[in-house]
Structure 1
Amino acid sequence: MRLSFPYMGPTIVYKKLLELLGHDVVMPPKPNKEIIDLGVKYSPEFACFPFKVITGIYLKLMEKWVDTLVTSGGHGPCRAGYFGEVHKKILQDLGYDVEIIVIDSPHDDYKYFYEVIKRLKGDSSWLQVGRVIKTVYQLTKVLDEIEKKVEILRAYNDKGTINRIWMDAQEEFYQIKNTADIKRIKNKYLNKLAKFDKSIPAEAERYRIGIIGEIYVVLEQSINNQIEEKVNRFGFEVERSQYLTDWIRENIFPFTGKDLEEIEKKGEEFIEADIGGHARSNMGHAIDFKEKGFDGIIHLKPFGCLPELVSQSVADDLSEKYEIPVLSITIDEQTADANVLTRVEAFLDMIKEKDYREVM
């Protein structure tokens, strides 16, 4: 099989998983205007923005003779659960014979999950599969750990310098073969970043923003207008509600984890029913950010995403009750970078002036 996958967040993780299982892996193109326009052209008008972006990515991959696409399913009633079938239909209508393998959570259907893993393992033994999963999960945790450090340090240092360290680290991680390689590279780059720790001000002088929203637009910087870097530019630290490690723990591991369960429970105050996606957990994360002393929340909502539309509708109530400002930004193919920058700058200025109650 000649495999690929959608471009989302730390793509190195998906590449290494399939590569270590012995597959011929083609890296997907990073979303850009051409890809987005292509996806918009061939997607249903009512589809959410992530669907359109992924459509464009798949169409570009067809030019590289990819015959199998590996993707994840949706959570609950979220329409992402239909992405695989609809994308396959679109590609077939355009004359492409391609298989789409959807990795759904074993919590939903263990037998189906087993069959998918059996299909992807190829000639690898189950022992090898176990080792690969261990290696890739360790890689995911380390990447998230380094990125969280970057999201802090970039607020107080030259963006280019910190970004270069982060990009160099990712390049080296592409070469890993085992957990020993991961540990060596991790220590190397955490030590490099540690040299900038002295730039972090005293706790009372730090400003922090939590970013919540639909997982694709939260994780993928190329379609959310580099929102984290924009926030960092104004001296604010950033932390996301979603990192790939969290998705794996929530969807793949047999036990979700007490911390994630508590986040979900907090969100029930504003969204009682499971309406799909991460709508309820986003509300829980917003409350959690407030309890951790964060100064504001940025909520990213892709156009056409029904769960996040509900989240946006209750965000004002959450903001008022917990006295934390919330900025909702809708992301689609029409979103202008200058518009996002202007809104983010005004929001952060408002927080620093401590007059957000009057503004809101």
Structure 2
Amino acid sequence: MEEDYAPPPPCSDDEDGAELQNRRRALTDPVSQLHEFILINDAVHIESITLRRAWKSIVDNPAYQSLRVKRFFGFCSAVYLGAKATVFDHCLGTYHVARKILSSLKLKQKWLIDDVDEYCIEIAALFAHSGRAPYFKAFSKLWGSDYDPKRMAVRMFTHVMENYVKDKLDMFLSPRDVLFIKELLNPPEMKFGTGDTWLMHGRPKEKAFLYEIVVNTDSGLDARFLDYITRSCTTANYGINFNMNTLGRIVNTVLVVTDGSKPTLVYSAAVLRNIQDMFQSSVQMDREVVRHKKVIAFEITLEKALNLAESYNCPGTNNRVPLFRIHEDINAFIRLGDDIISNV
């Protein structure tokens, strides 16, 4: 004789309400959000970009979203139709590659990197290109030496943090961590002084290698460049001897070794040819894509227009800011986009 099946008693309204509250609390708790990820499909990287839910507020604000209206290569898309990747795309890509480098290091040398180090590097990677102006070459000439994209990236990070995410980041980042992020975005050429004196303040010299992950001022081989060459050549449909599999091989061989008293990142000799091809491809792409004669013609025309548009003002923090001083006002810089062509 078959036993009668007795379904479990239904949950009470109180139990349903408690479960729902727990779920909502998990979604809004900043600490739990550090261990939850949002998947972002990307046109270049094979796997999805995994963005920590805690960083969602960093990305979802007007200042950061303004990066969507700034094409990375400006007029190149007029010649190479696919070269329409934005500064926003390159920032997310840099974040993705930085996470891959961190994962590779933690797999082999986990004791060298703690969780807060990882958080700081990820946040810095999200802002790695944020200081890049639209039509970069034209505005670099207009603003001269007063404008530096790395310094502007630090200002972008400071603006977003103070105006949108300060309360959340203060829960797990100390003032020293914030300083570390700024140093990652704009590191000096020399991090050691006379007698191997360590000049940085965000982290001790035992963690000097961390300063080579996002912006590497020593070799130039960093997350920013790795995404740049991959994304730029892929979107422009420019054939090179470098693809996502090659990127994975390079990242998977990274190690930290101590050169004297200076911990530094090194890569296996097995990928030396791949790295050489990558830098050679970058030079070739700069010559044939970025410096294409039609692109240069567009840039010269824009430079002349910008010099003639002295009367154009952009809304700034307090007043309207002249075109040649937009880089001095962070709010005016945020509002500056590709539509400047139609405005001047």
Question: If the TM-score is normalised by the length of the shorter chain, which range does it land in?
Answer: 0.3 to 0.5
Q: TM-score, normalised by structure 1?
A: 0.32
Higher-Rg structure is 2
Normalising by structure 2, we get a TM-score of 0.33
